[in-house]
Amino acid sequence: MKILRVSLFFFIFLAPFAYVTVQAFTGTYGINYGRIANNLPSPDEVVTLLKAAKIRNVRIYDADQSVLKEFSGTGLEIVVGLPNGNLRDVSADGDHAMNWVQDNVLAYLPDTCIRGIAIGNEVLGGSDQFSGFLLGAVKNVYDAVNKLKLSDVVQITTAHSQAVFANSFPPSSCVFQDNVVQYMKPLLEFFSQIGSPFCLNAYPFLAYMYDPEHIDINYALFLPTEGANDPKTKLHYDNLLDAQIDAAYAALEDAGFKKMEVIVTETGWASHGDENESAATVDNARTYNYNLRKRLAKMKGTPLRPKNVVRAYVFALFNENLKPGPTSERNFGLFKPDGSISYDIGFPGLKSSSADSLLLSLKDNRGCSWCGCYSIILTMATAFLLVFSR
């Protein structure tokens, strides 16, 4: 009889989760919530803004306590970040990694839907300051997540800039930089084992700014153009972002990881820049981000990987007035610091009326995600065991 009870318990409560593959991205559209600024809305206002815009997937670059608390119970799915400055300590000490995961992830689950941990950002391809610590940090964080029984809930990734590639045109010729391969290949091997994607920060804006004489701005903005052909694969590209993604697929295939998925973790277009950044205009930013939304809504792949639906996080939610570098760096936001839109691509600005808040709350409850239902399932499962174990 006990065997029957246990079997019944398994099929009712555990079987649906027995072969769960961790997925940190719902749909195709997400956004980066950077906070290098001193004039941004409070996290609770950000939640209202994201709900109004119906943006569910969010990435942050740390594990800020106030953000994680406000995201609790909202249904918004968030990827937290382990900053580059933490890589050395986390790589050197598994206990340090465990403490970080317990304090910054486990403590907020399941009410806050933390779906991934990004280990560092654009670590490879620049200076080697943190390169030697990346793989160790990835492994230690994954081990901690696995020991806490969260490996089917929280995905481990790291995002790369295009600096990791030796060349990217034509897409089929793309390979990893020689000085990157020693770090990249063992990292990809581990990600292949745990089912993580290759995360790419891809900016047609930066590519066009670097070589405006040879890149048609219409090609970068998803506008009608002659496009480009890859002489090796005979594939045609009508926009630059698809070509950048397929260049990453080509590099992965060359390295022996043909089946690994590519997810775009940053892409966007600046709305204002310095005198030498003439492409950074409101009109171009509006055009790129509006057409990007349409591109992602088609739920289709790239010419090289037509079955791999393109998923992308836009950079960024807000203009960030304290970011260093050229003026364009402070002007990638879809929204201004007061919550109003930077330009119109179909998103509403910040709304705070009680009617709107109530409606959004009801919609969230109606669309309960796995994170939101997890605690209910555990409670029911516990009750089931108590009743049938007597």
Long-range contacts of 350-359 (CB under 8 A, 24+ apart): 350/41, 350/45, 350/48, 350/49, 350/52, 351/48, 351/49, 351/52, 352/45, 352/48, 356/48, 356/52, 357/48
Residues 326, 327, 329, 330, CA torsion sign: positive
Q: What pLDDT does residue 371 have?
A: 53
Is 316 part of any domain? yes
CATH label of the domain that carries residue 287: 3.20.20.80
Catalytic residues: 122, 266
Asked if the structure places residue 231 within a domain, the reply is yes
List pLDDT tens digits, range 277-332: 999 999 999 999 999 999 999 999 999 999 999 999 999 999 999 999 999 999 99
pLDDT at 355: 34
99 occurs within a structural domain: yes
Asked if residue 355 is part of any domain, the answer here is: no
Does residue 22 fall inside a structural domain? no
* pLDDT computed for residue 358 by the predictor: 35
Contacts of 157 (CB under 8 A, 6+ apart): 24, 79, 116, 117, 118, 119, 191, 196, 197, 199, 263, 265
Is the Cβ–Cβ distance between 201 and 162 less than 8 Å?
yes
Query: What residues in the chain have per-residue pLDDT under 50?
Result: 1-20, 351-370, 372-390
Whether residue 16 lies inside any domain: the answer is: no
Tally of domains in the chain: 1
Residue 114 lies inside a defined structural domain of this protein: yes
Q: Which domain holds residue 33?
A: 29-343
> Would you say residue 369 lies in a domain?
no
